[in-house]
């Protein structure tokens, strides 16, 4: 408890100095909107507000301090004593023993968010606009939006999960095994992990040869329809959204899998009725 009070007192002194130094030169428009930083359920959350173009950076300057810095005003919500403004465009939070995650919710406009300097799992939801999001070394989730703008989504280390949404997105997984999903598509997709061509996805992602660009992606979840997905020289996990068996067509929607080292998901052992049907088919 004493450590937390000392930490908060130090942050208040730093905030006061920053405000005095900046206020002399910075005039803030009265109608300026603000992002909000809050804590809860073992998470830190940044919520952008409509109408602002965010330039968010999340860092870990020392110890248990997590700092949110934006190019527009950042306002802390009154939900926790663990966060405090440390300047007109900063909020710092003392995470203590928190072992949770960071949520970043971007709204409209062309935004950027970079949490590569923080060793905490991060979920980024981009909004409308052409957004750029970069995460760090943990297992992260990066989701694009339903618009046609180009989102640039970059993971670093860790096993990251990407959903670029519609539009021709640039997706890079970085190290470890990373996954991209097209499960929300209404029509089949074409994905070539070894292709090196900006033509992954379907018409929802752009015109032919101007669709998603995938780099350092090892795993793919396809659409509910008929897909054409090919792997590369890595150990790939590839699955159609509604497949019962990805390599066979028994009248179900299926995915054609191409690639030399594809790992299949495990299936449960057939039940008794199914085993009897299989025996009857073999004896015909």
Query: For residue 234, what are the CA distances in angstroms to 114, 193, 198, 218, 258?
Result: 28, 10, 20, 7, 13
Q: How far apart are CA 119 and CA 109, in angstroms?
A: 27
The arithmetic mean of pLDDT across residues 152-175, rounded, is 94
Instruction: Specify whether the CB–CB gap between 143 and 124 falls below 8 A.
Output: yes
CA distances from 125 to 101, 106, 108 (A): 14, 6, 11
d(CA 236, CA 242): 18
Residues 127 and 145 sit within 8 Å (Cβ to Cβ): yes
**Cβ burial, residue 108 (10 Å; 0-12/13-18/19+):** middle
Identify the top-confidence range among 5-9, 133-137, 196-200, 232-236. 133-137
Give Cα separations from 217 to 133, 236, 281 (angstroms): 16, 9, 40
pLDDT tops 60 at residue 162: yes
In the predicted structure, residue 189 carries a pLDDT above the cut 60: yes
pLDDT at 5: 46
Which tops the pLDDT comparison, 276 or 214?
214
- Residue 51 Rama label (left phi>0; alpha psi -120 to 50; beta): left
What percent of the chain stands above pLDDT 70? 69
The pLDDT assigned to 275 comes to 54
Q: What percentage of the chain reaches a pLDDT higher than 90?
A: 43
* CA-angle at 162, arms to 107 and 127, nearest 5°: 10
Joined tokens for residue 152: 């640039």
């Amino acid at each position: 408890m004493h450590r937390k009070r000392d930490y908060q007192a130090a942050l208040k002194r730093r905030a006061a100095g920053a405000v005095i130094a900046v206020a002399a030169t910075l005039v803030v428009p009265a109608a300026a909107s603000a992002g909000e930083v809050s804590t809860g359920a073992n998470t830190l959350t940044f919520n952008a507000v409509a109408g602002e173009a965010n330039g968010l950076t999340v860092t870990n300057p020392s110890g248990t301090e997590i700092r949110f810095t934006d190019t527009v005003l950042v306002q802390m919500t009154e939900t926790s004593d663990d966060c405090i403004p440390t300047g007109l465009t900063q909020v710092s939070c003392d995470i203590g023993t928190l072992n949770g995650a960071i949520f970043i919710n971007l709204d409209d406009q062309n935004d950027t968010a970079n949490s590569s300097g923080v060793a905490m799992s991060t979920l980024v939801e981009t909004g409308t606009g052409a957004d750029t999001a970069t995460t760090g070394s943990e297992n992260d989730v990066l989701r694009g939006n339903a618009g046609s703008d180009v989102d640039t989504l970059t993971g670093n280390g860790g096993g990251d999960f990407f959903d670029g949404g519609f539009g021709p997105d640039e997706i890079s997984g970085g190290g470890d095994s990373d996954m991209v999903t097209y499960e929300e598509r209404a029509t089949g997709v074409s994905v070539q992990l070894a292709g090196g061509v900006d033509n992954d996805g379907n018409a929802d992602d752009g015109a032919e040869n101007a669709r998603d660009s995938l780099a350092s992606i090892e795993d793919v979840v396809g659409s509910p329809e008929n897909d054409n997905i090919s792997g590369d020289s890595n150990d790939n996990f590839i699955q159609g959204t509604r497949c019962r068996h990805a390599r066979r067509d028994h009248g179900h929607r299926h995915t054609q899998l191409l690639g030399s080292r594809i790992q299949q998901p495990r299936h449960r052992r057939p039940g008794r009725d199914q085993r009897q049907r299989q025996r009857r088919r073999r004896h015909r």
